[in-house]
Structure 1
């Protein structure tokens, strides 16, 4: 990870006064503030991903206009190409999701599937979702993708997705499981509130944090950190959207009491080690707070 690039990217989004305060410790303070933000959000975490993860793309393909074509030639072209669809030059497509009007509400699905995360766009037909079975591997699906036999992803909303199954729509929601929150008021150590409050707000503007569960009744596994606005800053942090942060300084984030201890210790720490599960492998990200 390029620490200097990370520092300049973060400072560039702040005011001159904040940049002066963080000039010495900005690379480390970013990851430290992640821990503080994570703790403050656990009390009312909603298992939702906010919108705007997918990068908006605008613009239309160019249109070439040709004039001066003879009408007789045009008729011949039309007649020659009229039979092309019946030739199936590219084969016959398999059965797939067809575009139909979706209902305002649909019954909850009874399929053994868990919604782990959503990446919603302004259009419900262009998002993606992370879905997996009750005990199995999580996968990312785009709208229109086949999830399992006879089941397709139809729409992606901010807090649920619609599935198309047997010609009917079904709703798949986030797990109804609550997590005990962390209470930062338990710590009496000075934290330089003026610096942390400003930096915290800047960090909140650029990332979002959601919990990841191991499966039905298996409890919390870790957290995903996703970009919000400053995608360049997010990329420099070395975190990927599919990563699951499982521990900080060796302390599992699924253990509330132990996690609260490490949060208190990080306030005056000189370094932080983040454990991440990526593609079935466990990796560690180290960052100096000096």
Structure 2
């Protein structure tokens, strides 16, 4: 009976053993194949990692690197200021303000013909005298005329600040710089006129500072300015086109954010900025217009 039972299960058992052995053999073969494939891929990757940069695709590598660095600016690609030697222009023009941008082609300047109101010009625009605005810098602009560059500098002129009595300072003709001013005799009437104008401008600025410290609201109302949030350094909003503001390039709706990097909005602090700006000779005003910010450089006599 035992022999019959063994004979009955012998054939299925043999088939099962063969199936198990076959499956195990297939598993070992697959493992060996993938082992060698993985080893080959690992060797190739290691060779790529150790290969010099010149053996790889330079265009792709450079593209990836440049794209990554450009997201946050280039660390070693600091732009250098280019000094252009150009003669002073002989055109009858005055530079009243500049709007600087990181891209020169979108910078602009306020330029006026002597005796007329200034106008805003962008780089590439045509100016009076058959000239074209070529570039804008912090203290001058370059004009292109007849194929050559000419420089137009800021002129020490009125800032548009009036005294408490409302009298304006001397006319712009009285403060025109003279080539012999430094060596001129005190009796020279033009030199005396210029000196008197500069002295009156200093008095006007001092008066403006005192009024701003003692009665800031009346000064702000007079110049069409309103604190965005009184008592905070959120700047001033331009509400009306006062001549002094219009001459400096500001427009109604602008927000004056800072002067020479110092935030505005607190009257006592702003009064101190007047002295700092006066000693610096010019102010760099940060303005917000239409959600965008730019800087306006204004000379101070």
TM exceeds 0.5? no
Query: Which protein is richer in helix relative to its size?
Result: 2
TM-score (norm. length: structure 2) = 0.31
TM-score (norm. length: structure 1) = 0.32
For the pair shown, the structure with the greater C-alpha radius of gyration is 2
